[in-house]
Amino acid sequence: MSTIDVRLVEVTKVFGQDVAVDHVNLEVLDGEFFSLLGPSGCGKTTTLRMIGGFEEPTSGLIELNGEDVTWLPPYRRNVNTVFQNYALFPHLTIFENVAFGLRRRKVKGAEIKARVAQMLQLVELRGFDQRKPGQISGGQAQRVALARALINRPAVLLLDEPLGALDLKLRKQMQLELKRIQQEVGITFIYVTHDQDEAMTMSDRIAVMNRGRYEQLGRPEELYERPTTRFVAGFLGVCNLLPGHVDGTADAYALVALDDSTKLRLPLAQVSGSTDVEVGVRPEKVRLLELTDDVPAGANVLRGRVKQTSYTGVSTLYVIERSNGQTFTVYEQNLERAAANSLWRPGEEVAMTWSPDDTFAVRGASTASTADAASGSPSVNETAAS
């Protein structure tokens, strides 16, 4: 798991006036499930296509297994691709589709037969070999595309939004299946998607891309729990952000003063040198208490008034408004209060409290990169997660 399989060095791709990929440096480890996550137009697909050899970088270097492949055509790279719309050959049977790569590499007939059978079994499509692509469903076509790529035992498998055309239920099922297959074959997967759930469900690591660069790279829980930019915080789910400035330390925590001089605590490492920051917390980390209740020692506390209550089954979503007009989203699991039929009602005054350890800081809105992120940010604060 520690050797580097794919390395991108300062890779840039310019289309006319548009910088699609902007000086990206990336190292994907051997056997890793790596995702490029971002909104459409962020450069994730272009990055993938450059690794596959379908686009040449304007500048930069691409290495596979330590070998420079920047200028090699796709058919000379030990990489295979699962295309967005599968791109199965309609004039060939499923068997011949899957065997295509082996035939081009002049593998012997008997071996092809055995390996195709083995692959069709892996993707659970035994008995489909003589059908044509027009005679199978979207989910099955997806599996054939996967088998057709994997049979060549590439060093890296590239997947370009492979589940995009499937309905939600099938997509969920295929996510687990892809993960299973990836673990079974042990091949490095580089997966492009705009769906954060999909990326988090399957990936070992994710690079969250925006405007031709990745803003943060890490394990799914790192990105979710401790996003470093406004864009990442918003893209991976709902979050509450409050502007403030660093104002001293206490124990292992930094203190951040909000506009109304309320102070919040968060791990020192989160602020690392910056002064203007935005303090964030995920809605499910926050507990709601009566104003008279005891607050756990050292916890962050903010007061507010319940503005909206939405019961969603698993949890209840509250929108809380602070006295200065800032709104907060809070998810509360439906435990005692739901059973006792005493959900918080609009108008009630509450104390919102959460652990300093669940608090993160993103770079302040005054810096250039977060100003960028803010305009493209899909879901900060009030937007519900999908």
Partner 1 sequence: MSWFRRHPSIAGWLLLAPGILYLLVFYAYPTVQMFLVSLWTGSAASGYTLTWNFGIYASALNQYQDQIFRSIEFGGLATLFTFVLSFPLAYFIAFRGGRYKNILLFLVIAPFFTSFLLRTISWEIIFADNGIVLGPAKELGLVPPTFRLLATPVAVIAGITYNFLPFMTLPLYVALEKIPPSLLEAAQDLYAGTWQRFRRVTLPMALPGVFAGTLLTFIPAVGDFVNAELLGSPQSQMIGNVIENRFEKVSDYPTGAALSFILMAAILAAVFIYARLVGTEQLSGGGA
If the CB atoms of residues 81 and 381 are measured against partner 1, the closer one turns out to be 81
The yes or no reply on residue 105 touching partner 1 (CB under 8 A) is yes
> Residue 300 corresponds to which amino acid?
N
Residue 112-141 contact track with partner 1, rule CB under 8 A, x = bound: --------------------x-xx------
> Residue 284 corresponds to which amino acid?
E
If the CB atoms of residues 106 and 169 are measured against partner 1, the closer one turns out to be 106
- What pairing do the DSSP bridges indicate for beta strands 253-258 and 240-250? antiparallel
Burial class for 317, CB neighbours closer than 10 Å (0-12, 13-18, 19+): middle
- Return the closest-CA partner of residue 266 out of 227, 210, 219: 227
Residue 178-197 contact track with partner 1, rule CB under 8 A, x = bound: --------------------
**Whole-number Å distance between alpha carbons of 249 and 90:** 65
Q: Which of 47, 80, 182, 229 binds partner 1 (CB under 8 A)?
A: 80
**Whole-number Å distance between alpha carbons of 378 and 283:** 16
Structure tokens at 374: 């803010």
Contact 77, 105 (CB under 8 A): no
Select from 21-29, 74-82, 186-194, 240-248 the region that touches partner 1 (CB under 8 A). Answer: 74-82
If the CB atoms of residues 85 and 327 are measured against partner 1, the closer one turns out to be 85
Contact 79, 33 (CB under 8 A): no
Q: Which of 56, 68, 71, 91 binds partner 1 (CB under 8 A)?
A: 91
| Cβ neighbour number for residue 96 with a 10 Å cutoff | 17
The yes or no reply on residue 104 touching partner 1 (CB under 8 A) is yes
- Return the closest-CA partner of residue 253 out of 241, 245, 265: 265
Q: Which of 13, 44, 115, 148 binds partner 1 (CB under 8 A)?
A: 148
The yes or no reply on residue 90 touching partner 1 (CB under 8 A) is yes
If the CB atoms of residues 38 and 101 are measured against partner 1, the closer one turns out to be 101
Q: Could you list the residues that contact partner 1 (CB under 8 A)?
A: 52-54, 73-75, 79-81, 83-85, 87-92, 100-101, 104-105, 132, 134-135, 148-149, 152
